[in-house]
């Protein structure tokens, strides 16, 4: 791997990392609104439905930034709804898998080291973020094959 390619990947990863801050903000705001105002009143609505809705809103936010910003060079010039939803489906699956990986890692770290949940979450996010970037780079937004 050339030095130029490593810089290109590092720059793309930096854009990806910054875009996740937008998703995190959306996640927290939607979770707060749902859990405290829109869906309050039962455990299921506050602790299951609200986090699910906030996660999906964050995924959509991050996907839009990824599709039109981070990996825009990998989307054909004539963007279509079909392309958008095909990529969104793959992105949603990769985010869901990464979220499950993060949760498993968070719980494992807590069991092994008895750290506070916030420290476990930070460590788990570090690894799951790299995994999510890799899945998007290699599968969801993979480079188009050159036609021979």
pLDDT tens-place string over residues 113-126: 998 887 888 898 88
Categorize the per-residue pLDDT at 104 as very low, low, confident or very high, splitting at 50, 70 and 90.
very high
Average pLDDT, the chain: 90
pLDDT value at position 121?
85
CB distance 3 to 120 below 8 Å? no
Q: Which residue has the tokens 């489906």?
A: 89
Taking only Cα atoms into account, the Rg of the chain, rounded to an integer number of angstroms, comes to: 17
Asked whether the CA dihedral 51, 56, 61, 67 is positive or negative, the reply is positive
Half-sphere exposure of 36 (CA within 13 A, CB side): 6
Predicted TM-score of the model (pTM): 0.85
Res. 147: pLDDT tops 70: no
| 15 CB neighbour count, 10 Å cutoff | 13
Burial class from Cβ neighbours inside 10 Å (0-12, 13-18, 19+) for residue 27 reads buried
The domain segmentation of the chain, as residue ranges, is 3-140
């Amino acid at each position: 791997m050339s030095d130029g390619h490593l810089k290109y990947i590092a720059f793309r990863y930096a854009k990806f990392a910054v875009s996740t801050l937008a998703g995190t903000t959306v996640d927290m705001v939607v979770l707060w609104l749902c859990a405290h105002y829109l869906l309050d009143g039962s455990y299921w609505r506050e602790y299951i439905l609200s986090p699910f809705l906030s996660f999906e809103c964050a995924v959509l936010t991050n996907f839009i930034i990824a599709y039109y910003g981070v990996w825009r060079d990998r989307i054909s010039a004539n963007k279509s709804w079909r392309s958008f939803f095909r990529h969104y489906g793959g992105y949603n699956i990769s985010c869901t898998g990464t979220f499950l990986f993060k949760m498993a890692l968070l719980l494992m770290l807590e069991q092994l080291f008895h750290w506070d949940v916030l420290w476990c979450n930070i460590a788990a996010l570090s690894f799951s973020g790299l995994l999510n970037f890799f899945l998007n780079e290699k599968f969801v937004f993979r480079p188009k094959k050159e036609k021979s």
